[in-house]
């Protein structure tokens, strides 16, 4: 372990935070791919949101829509995928902490679910706007 890693560990920080440059980029990319794989394999809601996004974005190219409409639809669906990743992360962290019923754990999970609902409502509104203004 380097001196920098020893200082970080002593301060209660992760020794992995010391990586910089291309090595950090390579590691971060690998961790992100691991996250996508974990979400796909373990989270049915993530798979559903991805399939909805694929269908929605695909449909936007099949329909005669202006480029700005396709871009908005793709953006709205990608936001929903991102929100589902964050929601799944919150749920995993809460479940790791404790499987006991706790009001704050329920609140954290409910807030993540509400964020996902808001992103899906956003996608539906975007679809309506684009379809009504083509």
pLDDT over 70 at 4, yes or no: no
Give the other-Cβ count within 10 Å of 6's Cβ: 12
- What pTM value is reported for the model? 0.83
pLDDT tens track for 41-89: 999 999 999 999 999 999 999 999 999 999 999 999 999 999 999 999 9
In this predicted structure, what is the pLDDT of residue 134? 82
What is the C-alpha to C-alpha distance for residues 43 and 88, in angstroms, rounded to an integer?
A: 7
Segments in the chain forming alpha helices (H): 3-10, 21-42, 44-62, 67-97, 103-132
Residues of the chain with CATH 1.10.287.3610: 43-132
Residue 5 has pLDDT above 60, yes or no: no
What is the percentage of the chain residues whose pLDDT exceeds 90?
A: 80
Q: What's the whole-number average pLDDT of the chain?
A: 91
What average pLDDT score do residues 13-41 get? 89
Task: Please list the active-site residues.
Answer: 84
CATH among 2.40.390.10, 3.40.1180.10, 3.65.10.10, 1.10.287.3610 for 43-132: 1.10.287.3610
């Amino acid at each position: 372990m380097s001196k920098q890693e020893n200082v970080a560990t002593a301060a209660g920080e992760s020794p992995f935070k010391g990586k910089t440059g291309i090595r950090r980029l390579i590691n971060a990319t690998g961790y992100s791919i691991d996250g996508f794989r974990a979400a796909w394999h373990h989270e049915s809601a993530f798979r559903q949101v991805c399939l909805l996004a694929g269908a929605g974005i695909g449909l936007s190219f099949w329909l005669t829509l202006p480029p700005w409409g396709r871009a908005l639809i793709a953006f709205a669906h990608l936001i929903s995928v991102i929100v589902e990743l964050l929601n799944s992360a919150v749920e995993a962290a809460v479940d790791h902490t404790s499987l006991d019923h706790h009001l704050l754990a329920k609140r954290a999970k409910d807030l993540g679910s509400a964020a996902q609902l808001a992103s899906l409502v956003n996608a539906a509104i975007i679809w309506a706007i684009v379809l009504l203004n083509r």
